Amino acid sequence: MNESIREAAQRSVLCWLATVDAEGQPNVSPKEVWAIADDQHVVVAHIASPVSARNIGLQPQVCLSFVDVFVQKGFKLKGMAHEVRADESDFSRWAEPLLAVVGQRFVIQSVLVIRVTAVAPIVAPSYRFYADETTELDQVASAMRTYGVLPNTNSL
Ligand SMILES: Cc1cc2nc3c(=O)[nH]c(=O)nc-3n(C[C@H](O)[C@H](O)[C@H](O)COP(=O)(O)O)c2cc1C
């Protein structure tokens, strides 16, 4: 994972983690306390994610996606996950980037460590099907109208 993915991850704020149980039933839920730990690994805080944690114990294949909802671009990461509990020796290594996000506000029960094996971009269809007339600035303006977000006049 390169710097552009790292930047996109920071801008996206939220990611969605998909796991699957032993019967093949998919499960997806949002996570805000997550980080790209290094070139190969993404870490997600299990604060209140019992199903994700349980599924990873049964079946390590996961998919994690994130988009900047204003620019409407992001990435889909696939990989193999394992759970590192708070009493394990490498917990503090993996938890470090998450503690930088969450501080002392929540207890991190365990870290879901994902070794990323595939990365694919996600882009809104307008960038593909209306490429001539679609810019990132247009998409941001359009998304701000959709979400009812006013421009930040402090940055003007
Ligand atoms: C905006 C948002 C951010 C969240 N971030 C996290 C998070 O970083 N870690 C976590 O464990 N739960 C987080 N949650 C809560 C879980 O998504 C929620 O408890 C969910 O039901 C867990 O489902 P799971 O057990 O299938 O993972 C967040 C929820 C929302 C709405």
- Indicate the number of domains in the chain: 1
Is residue 45 within 8 A of residue 108, CB to CB? The reply is yes
Q: Does some domain include residue 154?
A: no
Q: Does some domain include residue 123?
A: yes
Q: What is the pTM of this model?
A: 0.94
**Domain range enclosing 133:** 3-148
What SS3 state is found at 43? strand
Lookup result for tokens 């390169």: 2
CA-46 nearest atom, ligand 1? 11
Q: Does some domain include residue 86?
A: yes
Q: Does some domain include residue 10?
A: yes
Q: Does some domain include residue 156?
A: no
pLDDT digits (tens, 9 = 90+) for 4-59: 999 999 999 999 999 999 999 999 999 999 999 999 999 999 999 999 999 999 99
CATH number of the domain to which 84 belongs: 2.30.110.10
Q: Among 21, 25, 29, 106, which is best to mutate for testing ligand 1, by the most ligand atoms less than 8 A from CB?
A: 29
Q: Write out residues with Cβ below 6 Å of ligand 1.
A: 14, 27, 29-33, 45-52
